[in-house]
């Protein structure tokens, strides 16, 4: 059986199945088993690509190379650990009376469909289908953000839908313009939106159209990445939705949207004068980084604060890819991996902490380390990792980005250091009393799933100390593809 | 000068111009049901424009695209919107954040900006419909303006759908439409999105007893 087809079929079929049987007691296990199947298929696919090189699927509609297979395995892995985490988390939510059985069914089936849309977006070769899958990813998560049906969660979901809808409409206009530019070279046949065809003729694409097209694509998909000034949906959606949803939104959806921009950047770089696309991304990246760092210091809600931290890191990654070149691209890819793993681990720990203390307000969460040392240490270590403390992997990637910037864009260094410093001070200052200090927490009926937290942090630690040679090769190859 | 433009191109330009006029009418319209009517009329003009392009060029996928527009934007979406307006019992005046004459003036500025942006690009196009690219961009901008200035959730959605109309007009005018599989995907997304919104509206109403988004401005950073 083809690993690729399995990987897309498992989440689609199990998503449909869970709409029917999602209220059974064993449904959470089905969710985990399906995610495990998807992950194993993704591992198989990765092994195949590493051994045999890029391949097509379904004619030329899907294309897997070393760049997107890296995102695919990351997505499938975080998808698996989040489903493990969400089992006990959602049972606790049900026992607390915040969620009914039909809503849990909705959660599980939409979770699988969300995984399907993201994997489809990552592997498609057709830039039109990429758009369709990105929009579908928004649609599957709107009802998840409003799962609690509280006024705040409805407002967050509404903002999410409208802002991302507007953003994605800009991206569609960009895609139309791209098709227009491509059609002049490739003709009206159906392959004028296929990335593999476009990349062959990228130097012949009309620069005037490509310039406008890339701006629309960057702003459009950038809305989903959380680039300022269109980032407002992100903190609300992360804070008001259930924590597993925050973990996958932050750890996965933002990456997938950024991946869409990267694919388009490769085309724009070929058609446009040197550095046009890159400078736009540098500008957006730095602006986002600054805005997020200063909003960070004003947050009171723990999930909101870490949502702003995601925006900050996305800004840093966009900046890295904007600089371009093998080293900066390598650092960007490494940072995306580290951010996904660390931020989802933090959200897992935060999820259990908020359940134990019944609040998301940081002032009222105290002494986590007393009630459950594992959660306390998980949150503390995760926070240190995301702030870029050595020996965690985030340090390695941030260090590479900073040294590269120092060499090529020295004027950006004060901005980067200021933003990272402000972020460090505000996050560490708030998490420290949450972990230590007098406790207010209570016991939970279902033991939390701690394994995913430490699994992620262990990986981040390992990658900070030692990156296996095959992974380095793989990163290098992907970085080279980005130009 | 007009003699040089073939009849079909003139027809398409006419329909595009009517779409633009309807976008202005939607900006000015205060009543919810009339707004849905205007949206359906806009969809119908888009259908006619696509059909004219299809007949002129004889490209089969444009016929499918026109059929899809008719089914989705003239029949299905307005029907869903009607049902929502009736079931949610939304009556009467839509309160705009900025008064109507000011909105119209801002709209005119937006249209001029859109034409200026589109000018260098439409010169590169070889389709008979290229003149309408500027109009398409203008429709997108006007729909955006409508979303910003309206306070009822449902009129924001009509603005969003009108933006989609503008994008389809852009696709038809610049390139004779996107590949079929992409258009089908977009149509599916819009339809599913509409159904999810329908569910969502009832959730909003149950929670706030109203569809006014002024109730939804609690989440702020401070």
Q: Which residue do the tokens 């191109």 mark?
A: B9
Q: pLDDT tens digits for A125-169?
A: 999 999 999 999 999 999 899 898 888 898 899 889 888 988 888
Cβ contacts of B125 within 8 Å, gap of 6 or more: A180, B133, B173, B174, B175
So what's the pLDDT on residue A471?
83
So what's the pLDDT on residue B4?
66
Question: What are the domain boundaries of chain B?
Answer: 7-219
Q: How many CB pairs under 8 A join A and B?
A: 139
Distance from CA of A17 to the nearest CA of B (A): 19
**Which residues face A126 on adjacent strands?**
A194
Confidence grade of residue B127 (pLDDT, cut at 50, 70, 90): low
pTM equals 0.92
Distance from CA of A292 to the nearest CA of B (A): 12
Q: Which residues of B touch A128 (CB under 8 A)?
A: 178-179, 181-182, 185-186
So what's the pLDDT on residue B9?
82
Contact at CB, B200 and A180, closer than 8 angstroms: no
Nearest-CB residue to A132 (from B153, B167, B185): B185
So what's the pLDDT on residue A226?
92
- A194: phi then psi, degrees, rounded to nearest 5: -80, 125
**DSSP output for A240-278:** HS-HHHHHHIIIIIHHHHHHHHHHHHHHHHHHSSTTHHH
CB-based burial label for A440 (10 Å; 0-12, 13-18, 19+): middle
d(CA B159, CA B33): 14
d(CA A111, CA A94): 17
Nearest-CB residue to A142 (from B179, B196, B219): B196
Q: Which residues of B touch A149 (CB under 8 A)?
A: 203, 206-207
Q: Which residues of A touch B186 (CB under 8 A)?
A: 128, 131-132, 135, 172
**DSSP output for A410-455:** GGGHHHHHHHHHHHHHHHHHHHHHHHSS-------SS----HHHHH
| Residue (of B79, B187, B100) closest to B145 by Cα position | B100
Confidence grade of residue B96 (pLDDT, cut at 50, 70, 90): low
So what's the pLDDT on residue A443?
66
Q: pLDDT tens digits for A88-102?
A: 999 888 888 888 888
Confidence grade of residue B1 (pLDDT, cut at 50, 70, 90): very low
What is the average pLDDT across B121-143? 80
Interface of A with B in 7-36 (CB under 8 A): none
In B, minimum Cα distance to A234 occurs at B219
Nearest-CB residue to B182 (from A126, A151, A156): A126
Contact at CB, A166 and B147, closer than 8 angstroms: yes
Interface of A with B in 326-355 (CB under 8 A): none
Q: Does residue B127 have a cis bond before it (omega within 30 degrees)?
A: no
| Residue (of A240, A237, A244, A239) closest to A91 by Cα position | A244
In A, minimum Cα distance to B210 occurs at A151
Contact at CB, A158 and B153, closer than 8 angstroms: yes
Touching check for A240 and chain B: CB below 8 Å?
yes
| Residue (of A384, A367, A372, A374) closest to A454 by Cα position | A374
**Which residues face B93 on adjacent strands?**
B31
In this predicted structure, which of A1-10, A74-83, B118-127, B143-152 has the lowest mean pLDDT? B118-127
Give B125 or B170, the one with higher predicted confidence: B170
- For residue B92, pLDDT over 70 is answered with no
Touching check for A155 and chain B: CB below 8 Å?
yes
C-beta separation of A318 from A227 below 8 A: yes
So what's the pLDDT on residue B128?
66
Q: Which residue do the tokens 């499938």 mark?
A: A76
Touching check for A158 and chain B: CB below 8 Å?
yes
- Please list the ranges in chain A whose pLDDT falls under 70: 1, 188-190, 439-443
Nearest-CB residue to B208 (from A151, A161, A206): A151
**Which residues face A62 on adjacent strands?**
A57, A124
| Residue (of B49, B40, B92, B55) closest to B211 by Cα position | B92
ipTM of the prediction: 0.89
- Residue B163: enclosing H or E segment and its boundaries? helix B153-175
Q: What is the CA radius of gyration of chain B?
A: 18
So what's the pLDDT on residue B2?
46
So what's the pLDDT on residue B129?
66
Contact at CB, A139 and B196, closer than 8 angstroms: yes
d(CA A282, CA B121): 26
So what's the pLDDT on residue A184?
82
């Amino acid at each position: 059986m083809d690993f690729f087809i399995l990987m897309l079929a498992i989440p689609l079929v199990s998503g449909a199945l869970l709409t029917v049987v999602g209220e059974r007691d064993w449904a959470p296990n089905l969710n985990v088993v399906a995610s495990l199947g998807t992950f194993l298929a993704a591992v198989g696919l990765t092994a195949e690509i590493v051994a045999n090189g890029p391949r097509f699927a379904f004619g030329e509609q899907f294309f897997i190379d070393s760049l997107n297979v890296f995102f695919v395995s990351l997505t499938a892995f975080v998808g698996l650990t989040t489903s493990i985490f969400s089992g006990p988390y959602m049972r606790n939510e049900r026992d607390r009376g915040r969620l009914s059985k039909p809503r849990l069914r909705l959660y599980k089936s939409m979770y699988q469909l969300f995984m399907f849309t993201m994997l489809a977006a990552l592997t498609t070769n057709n830039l039109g289908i990429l758009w369709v899958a990105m929009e579908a990813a928004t649609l599957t998560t709107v009802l998840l953000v409003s799962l609690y049906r509280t006024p705040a969660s409805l407002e967050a979901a509404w903002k999410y839908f409208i802002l991302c809808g507007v953003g994605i409409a800009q991206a569609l206009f960009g895609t139309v313009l791209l098709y227009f530019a491509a059609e002049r070279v490739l003709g009206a046949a159906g392959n004028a939106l296929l990335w593999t065809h476009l990349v062959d003729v990228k130097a012949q694409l009309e620069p005037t159209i490509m310039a406008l097209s890339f701006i629309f694509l960057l702003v459009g998909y950038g809305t989903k990445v959380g680039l300022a000034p269109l980032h407002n949906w992100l903190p609300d959606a992360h804070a008001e939705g259930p924590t597993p949803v925050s973990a996958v939104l932050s750890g996965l959806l933002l990456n997938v949207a950024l991946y869409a921009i990267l694919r388009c950047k490769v085309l724009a770089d070929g058609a446009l004068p040197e550095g046009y696309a890159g400078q736009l991304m540098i500008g957006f990246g730095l602006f986002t980084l600054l805005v997020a760092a200063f909003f960070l210091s004003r947050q009171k809600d723990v999930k909101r604060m870490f949502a702003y931290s995601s925006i900050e890191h996305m800004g840093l990654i966009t900046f890295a890819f904007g600089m371009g070149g093998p080293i900066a691209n390598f650092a960007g890819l490494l940072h995306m991996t580290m951010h996904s793993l660390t931020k989802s681990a933090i959200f897992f720990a935060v999820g259990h902490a908020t359940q134990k203390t019944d609040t998301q307000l940081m002032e009222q969460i105290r002494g986590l380390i007393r009630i459950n040392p594992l959660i306390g240490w998980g949150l503390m270590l995760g926070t240190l990792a995301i702030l870029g403390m050595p020996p965690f992997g985030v340090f390695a990637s941030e260090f590479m980005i900073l040294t590269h910037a120092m060499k090529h864009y020295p004027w950006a260094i004060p901005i980067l250091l200021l933003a990272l410093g402000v972020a460090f001070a505000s996050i560490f200052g708030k998490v420290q009393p949450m972990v230590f200090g007098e406790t207010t927490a209570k016991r939970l009926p279902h033991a939390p799933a701690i394994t995913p937290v430490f699994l992620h942090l262990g990986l981040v630690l390992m990658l900070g100390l030692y990156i296996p040679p095959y992974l380095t090769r793989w990163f290098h190859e992907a970085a080279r593809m980005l130009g | 000068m007009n003699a040089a433009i073939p009849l079909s191109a003139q027809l398409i330009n006419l329909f595009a111009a009517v779409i633009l006029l309807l976008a202005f009418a939607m900006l000015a319209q205060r009543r919810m049901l009339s707004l849905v009517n205007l949206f359906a009329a806009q969809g119908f003009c888009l259908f006619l424009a696509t059909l004219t392009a299809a007949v002129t060029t004889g490209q089969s996928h444009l016929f499918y695209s026109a059929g899809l527009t008719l089914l989705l934007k003239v029949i299905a979406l307005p029907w869903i919107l009607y049902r929502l307006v009736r079931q949610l019992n939304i009556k009467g005046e839509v309160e705009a954040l900025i008064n109507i004459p000011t909105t119209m003036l801002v709209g005119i500025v937006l249209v001029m900006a859109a034409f200026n942006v589109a000018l260098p690009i439409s010169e590169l196009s070889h389709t008979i419909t290229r003149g309408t690219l500027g109009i398409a961009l203008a429709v997108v901008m006007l729909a955006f303006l409508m979303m910003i200035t309206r306070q009822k959730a449902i009129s924001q959605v009509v603005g969003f759908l009108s933006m989609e109309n503008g994008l389809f007009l852009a696709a038809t005018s610049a390139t004779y439409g996107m590949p079929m599989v992409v258009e089908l995907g977009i149509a599916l997304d819009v339809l599913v999105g509409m159904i999810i919104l329908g569910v969502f509206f009832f959730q909003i109403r149950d929670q706030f007893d109203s569809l006014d988004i002024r109730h939804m401005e609690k989440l702020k950073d401070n």
